[in-house]
Chain A
Amino acid sequence: MGSGADLRIRPHTLLFYASPSSWVGPKMRMSTFVLKRLSYTVFVLFGLSILIFIIARVLPGDPARLALGPRAPDWAVENLRQQLRLNEPLYVQYFYWVRDALSGSLGVSLVTRRDVMVDIQEFLPATVELIVLAALLDMALAIPIGMVAGRRANSWFDNVVRVLSYVGVAVPAFVVAIIFILVFGFMLNIAPSIGRISPNIVAPPTVTGLITIDSLISGNMVAFFDAVAHLILPALALSLGLIAQEARITRSSVVENLNKDYILSTVSHGVPERLLTLKYLLKPSLIPTVSVMGLDMASLIGNAFLVELIFNWPGVSRYGITAMLRKDLNAIVAVVMIAGIIFAIANIAVDLIVAYLDPRIRMIEKAA
């Protein structure tokens, strides 16, 4: 091709890549892939439920006695043990748990004294809001920082990013959370450090449980910006370590791809740098990042435990840590299952995205 080749991305080109049928040949192949993964996921979650069910029950401590306190009469403790079926064999207890779960009940929480499903419905939106913003910050910052650092390898920017990456990976999220509160909440006092919304702001009517979304739905922009302000510090604390790690991975991937023949060939054709970066370098460089990013995002719900505790964020992760400390059996199982489901969905999503990004996977599938 000559140096004046027209390499602009045109709308119909985008549509081609967007169409599932173009990915793996016949449409059925993709749906088969998704169904297969979903069926594996069901088995994995089934196994997870058995594992956590057993672990929760073999940990030391009588949950009934712990729930009622040391001074409760023995008959009250025995009544509660019977309600929880703790005197039955483990497999019988599991059978009843599965039966109740399939009918929408996850049992009663020994801490809140109400159905765990009600607790999850109340606390999960707060965690979803937090981890979604953390994930968005992760994607919005990790990829561009990594790309720039890779394109400007060994420059001052790259060196700063490398150092900050090491620090970001080494420092746990809860330490970052404490530093944020002390710096931005205590010393500078420019950001709220507790709760989801300020006490003097009228909260929007609950639709989704996500205050940001509910504010937009009701048109309450005051509440929206206030909720975002409350979200920034905990979301940043949660995502900083991931941003550091993924920026580093992206940077390494970019540097590696820059030395590939096809890039050298593209450069020799006089392709502008911007086009080179966005069209020819970005997609292949993202493959390892996306794989790690997906798993990191799935683990956000686990990492959110301490961040929620420190920011007094009423989320399901904090609920889970309370459940574990107080051996709230039903709540422990429910929270772990939620984390498992999120992890499984994230895994499937990562596989799909990687398949989209890497044509070689599609070629292999097609050949198969």
Chain B
Amino acid sequence: MKRSSQIAIAVVIIIVVVAGAAWYALTPPPGPPTTTTTEVPTTTTAPMAPSVLTISFANVPNTDPAVGSDEASSSGFVNLYDTLVFPTPSGDVVPSVATSWSVSSDGLTWTFKLRSDVKFHDGTPLTANDVVFSLNRMLTIGQGYSYLFTPYVDQVSAPNDQTVVIKLKTTFGPFLGSTVRIYILNSKLVTSHFKTPGPYGDNGDYGSDWLLTHDAGSGPYMIKEMKLEAYMLMERFTGYWGEVRKDAPDQVKFLGTTEPATIKTMLSNGQLDITDQWQPTENLEAMAKLNGVTRTDIPTAGEFYLMMNTKMAPTDDIYFRAAVTYAFDYDTVVKSIIPGATESAGPVPTALPGHDSNAPKYHRDLAKAMEFIKQSKYYGKLDQYPIVYHWIAEVPDEEKVALLFADNMKDIGVKVQVVKVPWLTVVDEMGKLQTAPNIVTIFVSASYAEAGSMLQQRYHSKSAGTWEQNEWLQNSTIDSMIDDAVATLDKNERFAKYIKVQEALVAMYPSIFTYDQVERRAYYAVYVDWYAAKGQWSPVLGYNFDCRNIGFDAAGKAALFGS
């Protein structure tokens, strides 16, 4: 080929590429905040683009209510589905699909009366049969939040279209509150999407495959687009029976990424409105400096524990555990390592209803620590009994706590072997007493909005050998106290019993109650009116993102980003 032809071809290619790049540069996607003008754009006759609230999570939700139970999934359920009752910030419940309810005197039969005006997203009316189907489906599949119901629910039935009757095997005081996890599915729609053969006999796959990318709910939002591994986009359901704020977002997008550089970039150019709770402190502080962005710390029903193995030397000795409890520097944790966190008071997070407000907040007291260590049977041979301390490799901040602990223990002559362990290995190790270490550090969150949840999960014998309990407490007295409390129908009485359990546990020094987990996020307070950031947070996972109650000022956002 002649040289001139080659040059001509190269020039044509360059022109096409430059033209394309120039075109793209001139018509960019949602742009950056180039100005900080507060002028509101004049209205035009062109239709307004829908307002989209974008929130990042650790993963894209699993929208099957019988399968998902992580934060993203739970937040999705709140918007896509309705429940019999709805939780309030104080941990009580108010009517939702159920207008009223009653319980038999023995506490075993719960009767719910339903509204008659609720419609699913496809227009089908919601009836009691849908509630029966949803609960039975959850119990059969056995995943997600089914663990709340499997031990207790015996039978569920629908005597008529507006009545649901749930019979329990045993009395369960928090049962009413736990029904916030019975997300009501459109039984006809799901049934029409059963795939056979499947693992559930005649029910095939129970619609699991279809529900991965669709919803069958009646909630204020419905799925518009689902990209597994990328995002979920929901849009308003105009036929919703309940109240929705006039300025609630038209669409809500849940992104499944927490990469700090990506989150910061997206927040800065308006592609993200509320960040996830997993951002490092440095990134949060940098994002808080962006125009219009506010950092918020929201209490949760989760606590970070140093779980001490009460069956393994030297942590099998109560005086040793007490000494370690007083030797630890809690203030450094909440001030320097996890700024914004609040120190725990006892085995139940402060934000959880039923928490003992008189539970002690420990502070480092070396004198007291030495007093206890001298009473320990291991005193005088402490060098022969090092503490084996495992921290979760996937949570870098835990290393800082581990190193602080090791340093603190030197002051009372205790040696610590700090070991970084992957989560999968930790779960395996904690399954057997022989392999469980002296201390494992783990976050645990309550599964329902009462102290009883945390007490059951953390200190009942049934949880020994699971990732939720390294203490191997296996104390029959504590078991009985917990069982009795949870079986008490009267709320005040139940809560009083919770306090007694907490007092008993504190006296045993089974764990170091390090700090209450706080959700640290950055968001555009200038145009997002978020109730959870204003003190109205919910202790129930997912209910801080009830988007029907979040205000979104689209004009304010447009003004901020100059578009």
Residues of A bordering B, CB below 8 Å: 59-62, 65-66, 68-73, 75-76, 79, 83, 112-114, 119, 122-123, 178, 181-182, 185-186, 189-190, 192-195, 198-201, 221, 225-226, 228-229, 309-312, 314, 318-319, 322, 325, 327
A199 vs B272: C-alpha distance when bound (angstroms): 12
B31 within 8 A of A: yes
| Interface contact B259-A68, CB-CB below 8 Å | no
Given A185-B265, A311-B262: A322 and B468 interface contact (C-beta under 8 Å):
no
Question: Per-residue 0/1 for B251-281: is the Cβ within 8 Å of any A Cβ (1 yes, 0 no)?
Answer: 0000111010110111011010000000000
A194-B271 contact in complex given A70-B427, A200-B30, A312-B257, C-beta closer than 8 Å:
yes
Closest Cβ of chain A: how far from B3's Cβ, in Å?
8
Q: Name the B residues within 8 Å of A113 (CB-CB).
A: 62, 64, 67, 208-209, 212
Contact of B427 with A69 in the complex, beta carbons under 8 Å: no
B294 interfacial contact with A, CB 8 Å: no
* C-alpha spacing A199/B233, complex, angstroms: 11
Given contacts A226-B24, A228-B20, 5 further A-B contacts (CB under 8 A): A76-B141, A178-B259, A190-B25, A193-B265, A194-B265
**In the assembled complex, which residues on chain A have CB atoms less than 8 Å from the CB atom of B394?**
325
Q: Which chain A positions have C-beta within 8 A of B514?
A: none
Nearest chain-B residue to A327 (Cβ)? B424
Return B73 CB to nearest CB of chain A, in Å: 11
Residue B504 at the chain A interface, CB threshold 8 Å: no
Most buried by A among B52, B142, B466, B467: B142
Residues of chain A lying within 8 A (CB to CB) of residue B259: 178, 309-310, 312
The distance from the CB of B10 to the nearest CB of chain A, in whole angstroms, is 12
Is B69 an interface residue when CB atoms closer than 8 A count as contact? yes
- The interface centre, meaning the residue of B52, B141, B262 with most chain A CB atoms within 10 A of its CB, is B262
Query: Does B143 belong to the interface (CB within 8 Å)?
Result: yes
B230 A312 Cβ-Cβ under 8 A? yes
5 contacts between A and B (CB under 8 A): A65-B427, A73-B150, A112-B228, A192-B29, A312-B256
Docked complex Cα distance between A318 and B60 (Å)? 13
A79→B142 contact, CB < 8 A: yes
Give CA–CA (A4, B424) in the complex, Å: 74
Q: Interface residue tally of chain B, by bracket?
A: 35 or more
Q: Which residues of A contact B441 (CB under 8 A)?
A: none
Q: Mark B55-75, 1 if CB is under 8 A from A, else 0.
A: 000000010100101000000
Take A60-B424, A61-B424, A190-B25 as given contacts and tell me if A314 and B146 are in contact as well, using a CB distance cutoff of 8 Å. no
Asked whether B142 lies within 8 Å of A194 as measured between CB atoms, the reply is no
Q: Complex: how many Å from CA A62 to CA B425?
A: 10
Q: How far is the CB of B450 from chain A (nearest CB, A)?
A: 16
Find out whether the CB atom of A225 lies under 8 angstroms from the CB atom of B20: yes
Looking at the complex, which one of B142, B271, B424, B447 makes contact with A66 (CB distance below 8 Å)?
B424
- Is B227 located at the chain interface by the 8 A CB criterion? yes
Query: What chain B residues lie within 8 Å of A319 (beta carbons)?
Result: 229
- Contact indicator A75/B262 (Cβ below 8 Å): no
- B29 contacts A201, CB within 8 Å? yes
- Known contacts: A194-B266, A319-B229. The answer to whether A79 contacts B24 by CB under 8 A is no
- A318 to B256, alpha carbons, bound, how many Å? 12
CA distance A119 to B259 in the complex (A): 23
8 Å CB contacts to A: which residues of B426-483? Answer: 427-428, 447, 466-468
- Note all chain B residues with C-beta closer than 8 A to A185: 261-262, 265, 269
Complex contact B271–A60 (CB within 8 A) = no
CB atoms of A189 and B269 under 8 A apart: yes
**For residue B32, which residues in chain A have a CB less than 8 angstroms away from its CB?**
189
Complex CA–CA separation, A178 to B263 (angstroms): 11
Query: In the complex, A319 Cα to B208 Cα: how many Å?
Result: 20
Minimal beta-carbon separation of A329 from chain B (angstroms): 12
From A76, A112, A189, A318, give the contact of B142 (CB < 8 A). A76
State A69–B394 Cα separation when bound (angstroms).
17
| Shortest Cβ distance from A185 into B: residue | B265
Known: A72-B142, A83-B199, A195-B230. A200 touches B147 (CB 8 A): no
**A322 to B146, Cβ gap below 8 A?**
no
Given A69-B143, A113-B212, A309-B259, answer yes or no on A186-B264 (Cβ-Cβ < 8 Å).
yes
A318 to B142: give the CA distance in the assembly, Å: 28
Q: Which residues from 203 to 221 on chain B have a C-beta closer than 8 Å to any C-beta of chain A?
A: 208-209, 212
Residues of A within 8 A of B25 (CB): 190
Q: Are B229 and A322 in contact (CB-based, < 8 A)?
A: yes
Are A193 and B425 closer than 8 Å at their CB atoms? no
Nearest 5 pairs of A and B residues by beta carbon:
A76-B142, A61-B424, A198-B29, A71-B147, A185-B265
Q: Is the CB of B261 within 8 A of A70?
A: no
Residues of A within 8 A of B264 (CB): 182, 186
Taking the nearest CB of chain A, how far is it from the CB of B26, in angstroms? 11
* Distance of A113 Cα from B32 Cα, bound (Å): 38
Cβ A312 vs Cβ B425 within 8 A: no
* Contacts A112-B228, A194-B262; A60 near B147 (Cβ below 8 A): no
What 0/1 readout, one digit per residue, does chain B (530-556) give for beta carbons within 8 Å of chain A?
000000000000000000000000000
Q: A68 contacts B427, CB within 8 Å?
A: no
Residues of A within 8 A of B23 (CB): 225
Digitize B28-43: 1 where CB-to-A-CB distance is under 8 Å, 0 elsewhere.
0111100000000000
Residues of A within 8 A of B261 (CB): 178, 181-182, 185-186, 310
Interchain CA distance A342-B466 in the complex, whole Å: 41
Task: List, in ascending order, chain B residues with CB within 8 A of A83's CB.
Answer: 199
How far, in angstroms, from A112 to B464 measured CA to CA in the complex?
30
Which A residues are CB-close (under 8 A) to B255? Answer: 194, 312
B364 to chain A, nearest CB (A): 32
Q: How far is the CB of B126 from chain A (nearest CB, A)?
A: 25
Give the distance in Å from the alpha carbon of A226 to the alpha carbon of B136 in the complex: 47
Whether A66 and B199, one on each chain, are in contact in the complex, defined by CB atoms closer than 8 angstroms, is no
Contacts of A123 in B (CB 8 A): 229
**B147 to A72, Cβ gap below 8 A?**
yes
**Are A73 and B146 touching (Cβ within 8 A)?**
yes
How many angstroms from the CA of A322 to the CA of B427 in the assembled complex?
A: 18
With A70-B467, A182-B265 in contact, do A189 and B212 touch (Cβ < 8 Å)?
A: no
Option from A70, A119, A200 in Cβ contact (under 8 Å) with B29: A200
CA distance A180 to B223 in the complex (A): 33
Shortest B407–chain A CB gap in Å is 30
Contact A60 B467 (CB under 8 A): no
| Nearest CB of A to B443, in Å | 13
Task: State whether A225 touches B24 (Cβ < 8 A).
Answer: yes
Q: Decide: B424 and A59 in contact? CB cutoff 8 A.
A: yes
CB proximity of B16 to chain A, nearest CB, Å = 10
Question: Which residues of the other chain, A, contact B31 by a CB distance below 8 angstroms?
Answer: 189
In the complex, what residue of chain B is closest to A200 when comparing beta carbons? B29
Instruction: Give complex CA distance A71, B466 in Å.
Output: 9
CB distance B468 to A70 under 8 Å? yes
User: Which residues of the partner chain B approach A327 to less than 8 Å between Cβ atoms?
Assistant: 424
Q: Which residue of B lies closest to A197 (CB)?
A: B29
* Chain A nearest CB, measured from B354 CB (Å): 20
Contacts of A325 in B (CB 8 A): 394
Min CB distance B346 to A, Å, is 23
Q: How far is the CA of A321 from the CA of B401 in the complex (A)?
A: 27
Decide: A193 near B262, CB < 8 A? Known: A72-B142, A226-B24: yes
Q: How far is the CA of A201 from the CA of B229 in the complex (A)?
A: 20
Chain A residues with CB under 8 Å of B268's CB are: 186, 189
A313 nearest CB neighbor, chain B only:
B230
Shortest Cβ distance from residue B264 to the other chain A in the assembled complex, whole angstroms:
6
* Bound-complex Cα distance A195 to B265 (A): 13
Contacting residues, chain B, for A114 (C-beta < 8 A): 209, 212
Which of A113, A189, A309, A327 counts the most chain B CB atoms within 10 A? A113
Expressed in whole angstroms, the minimum distance between the Cβ of B6 and any Cβ of chain A is 11
Instruction: Return chain B residues, CB-CB under 8 Å to A69.
Output: 69, 143-144, 147
> Do A70 and B466 have beta carbons less than 8 Å apart?
yes
B142–A73 CB distance below 8 A: yes
When distances are taken between beta carbons in the complex, the residues of chain B under 8 Å from A75 are 142
Within the complex, what minimum Cβ distance (angstroms) separates A83 from chain B? 6
Chain B residues whose C-beta falls within 8 Å of the C-beta of A309 in the assembled complex:
257, 259
Residues of A within 8 A of B424 (CB): 59-61, 66, 327
Q: Are B230 and A71 neighbours in the complex by a CB distance under 8 Å?
A: no
